[in-house]
Amino acid sequence: MSCEKIPVVVGVTGHRDLYPEDIPALKEEVKKDLLKIKQMCGDTPVVMLNALAEGADMLCAEVAVEAGIPLYVVMPCEEKRYIESIEDAEAKVRFGCLISRAERVFVAPDTEQNYDWIKTQRDMKQTDYEYRQLGIYMAANSHILLALWNGKEPPESNPFGCGAAEVVSFALEQKYLSKDHLFKPGLLNDAAVCWIYTRRQKDKLDSAADPGIFTKWLHMEVVNVPKTVRVETAEPPVFLKDTIERTAEYNAAAPVSTDAVKLWANPEQLDDYRLGLRSHYIKADHLSYTVNQKPYNKFLLAIAFLGTLVALFFTLYDDASLTLMIFACTCALILLLTLVFLGNRKKYHKNFVEYRAMAEALRIQFYMSMGLSEQSRLYNVCTLYSWTQKSDMLWIAKAIQALGIICECNPGKISAIDKSKIIDVWLGISSKPTGQLKYHTSKLSANRAKSVFNSRLSRCISGVTVGIYFVIFALELATAIINATGNNWFWEGIMAGGVEWRSLGIIIVGTATAASLLFSSYFGKMSYDRKADDNFKMANLYASACERWKDVSFRPDAERDGFIKEVAREEIVENGIWVSYMLGNGLEVNI
């Protein structure tokens, strides 16, 4: 499958010991649900992530192949040993047919890295641990988990199980361990579960007790904080629809030429996975700046100009008694509100911020995956966001996970690239493409210069405005004193084109104040002082990181991986802070 579009991933879990007489009805239910998911996704491709275990897995895989849904097979262990574990001869034949139709076959990584510790808590076979890691990968990397499950909760006596019930818990509640077998807060509603009620032979149900086959959607909901409960609905949850909608909008945008050097300068050295990250970075970067930020800046400038006109026309109407100015003021106000409405409808600001966040996540993921050891190469950078930032970045995290599934990752192809060179191109002073130290150092100088100019302009406008205030104050004070002596002074009654000097002063002050406020809003959505301060801090980070790399580069893989992840965490969290700040400064006008 081409890596050009981000797919929606449907994972599968379920029971092996299905009732033979239930299989035709289950196939129809799975087909109906898959067609509904495809309809919901529109032009966004749908792929199935499947382990091809006996029973529910093979059933779903066969339906997917018939429906034209690409099949990606993830196994708990290498293929030879996995096939040997299948005892039924017919199932082995079905496995062979299905795996030959797969777009890609790979082994699930060890997410928990806790086998030795778990063995001290409970006697667990290596194969059971591998199946547990398979279930965790399936749950964590799916947008939707298709669960052919009897609805029974996992037994409390076995906290380290690996059945269908546990995989549902992995998807809904992320009930699995961190590398250090400690609590790690996961994002609730990271994936939705499409639950097809499926009885199993070991349940030994009476026909009268059989509820029949049906589908429900499961997700988590917070009630009576801090309690969370599973919720059953007939339709997919809102967060899933939102993720699919954002992914579809991104996919609908035209692809962008990758000829321009914006990441690693030698794409011929890259495998499919890194090429996929690179091409999507260039696309997200283009969507952020060219497609959305440029029109957004034009809207801001137009709004500032129209807002100033509204203030000018209204003061002419109010203080100069020019009645017709109320019509000009009304027209300018309507045009101003229309621009705000159109800008928000086009989502220029929202898209600019979101695609910038996506581009940054892809950039960091790209370099991080090149620098990490083979065991950690697919580590998702979005897991490094702070917990409060993760919910806003869900569709981005899922996009990166999906690329890791559909794009073949060949670490051998990039093994010849010097990791020190990768670090320099990513963090250092490399110019093609620009390293982060060079980028922030150059931006620091530019933003400081803009800050000085903006500060001088602001002081100039403020000085003129204050000066006019004092002139008017002095004239009014002189008028009051002269009037108290019984004399009249020139300030009163003098006209300038039909407007009193006194009214003209009010008009000038009001318009200058409005212009100062509106244009400072346009030029300072994030002040240049703030930008320069951020550039200074990040330049210090990258300078120290480049120095630190000289020592770390000779250390074992685990220490190098720790260093790379720490730098990536600082980058991605800083970007998350920027996103939070910018989302609070949308296209608006306060009247």
Specify the DSSP element, H or E, that contains 449. helix 436-484
What is the token pair recorded at 495?
A: 């006209």
pLDDT at position 543: 95
40-44, 216-220, 322-326: least confidently modelled range:
322-326
Residues 418 and 548 in one domain: yes
The residue ranking higher by pLDDT, 452 or 587, is 452
Residue-number span of the structural domain to which 523 is assigned: 254-591
Residues 174 and 263 in one domain: no
Residues 380 and 485 in one domain: yes
pLDDT at position 524: 45
Residues 248 and 258 in one domain: no
Q: Where are the alpha helices (DSSP H) in 320-410?
A: 325-346, 348-371, 387-390, 394-406
Mean pLDDT of the chain: 87
Q: Is residue 539 part of a domain?
A: yes
Residues 153 and 264 in one domain: no
Instruction: Using a cut of 0.75, tell me whether the model's pTM lies above it.
Output: yes
Instruction: Report the length, in residues, of the chain.
Output: 591
The share of the chain scoring above pLDDT 70, in percent, equals 91
Q: Is residue 105 part of a domain?
A: yes
108-117, 144-153, 513-522: least confidently modelled range:
513-522
pLDDT at position 581: 81
Q: Is residue 4 part of a domain?
A: no
| 448-465: average pLDDT | 79
Residues 238 and 259 in one domain: no
pLDDT at position 537: 92
Q: Is residue 473 part of a domain?
A: yes
Residues 136 and 273 in one domain: no
Which amino acid does the sequence have at 309? L
Residue 218 DSSP code: E
* Coil vs helix vs strand at 124: coil
Residues 564 and 579 in one domain: yes
Q: Of 252, 272, 301, which residue is a domain's last? A: 252
Which residue is listed with tokens 């910038």? 356
Q: What gap in Å lies between CA 391 and CA 411, rounded to an integer? A: 31
Specify the DSSP element, H or E, that contains 287. none
221-225, 543-547, 550-554: least confidently modelled range:
221-225
What is the token pair recorded at 552?
A: 């770390």
pLDDT at position 238: 94
Q: Of 218, 252, 286, which residue is a domain's last? A: 252
The residue ranking higher by pLDDT, 500 or 15, is 15
pLDDT at position 523: 47
Q: Is residue 350 part of a domain?
A: yes
Residues 37 and 168 in one domain: yes
Which amino acid does the sequence have at 177? L
Q: Of 183, 217, 252, which residue is a domain's last? A: 252
Residues 244 and 316 in one domain: no
Residues 18 and 118 in one domain: yes
Q: Is the pLDDT of residue 465 over 80?
A: no
28-42, 202-216, 234-248, 565-579: least confidently modelled range:
202-216
Q: Is residue 3 part of a domain?
A: no
Peptide bond into 295 cis (omega under 30): no
Residues 301 and 208 in one domain: no
Q: Is residue 278 part of a domain?
A: yes
Q: How confident is the model at residue 276 (pLDDT cuts 50, 70, 90)?
A: very high
Per-residue pLDDT reduced to its tens digit, 91-129: 999 999 999 999 999 999 998 888 888 888 888 899 999
Q: How confident is the model at residue 521 (pLDDT cuts 50, 70, 90)?
A: low
Q: Which residues contact 172 (CB under 8 A, 6 or more apart)?
A: 188, 189, 191, 193, 218, 219, 220, 230
Whether the Cβ atoms of residue 394 and residue 186 lie closer than 8 Å to each other: no
Q: Is residue 99 part of a domain?
A: yes
Q: Is the pLDDT of residue 21 over 50?
A: yes
Pairing of strands 104-107, 144-149: unpaired
Q: What gap in Å lies between CA 13 and CA 518, rounded to an integer? A: 56
CATH of the domain at 140: 3.40.50.450
Per-residue pLDDT reduced to its tens digit, 472-510: 778 778 777 877 777 766 555 555 555 666 677 677 777
Q: Is the pLDDT of residue 294 over 60?
A: yes
Per-residue pLDDT reduced to its tens digit, 180-215: 766 566 677 889 999 999 999 887 765 556 778 999
Total domains in the fold of the chain: 2
pLDDT at position 409: 86
513-518 CB contacts, 8 Å cutoff, 24+ apart: 513/311, 513/465, 514/307, 514/308, 514/310, 514/311, 514/312, 515/304, 515/308, 515/311, 515/461, 516/458, 516/461, 516/462, 516/465, 518/303, 518/304, 518/307, 518/308
110-114, 144-148, 317-321, 561-565: least confidently modelled range:
317-321
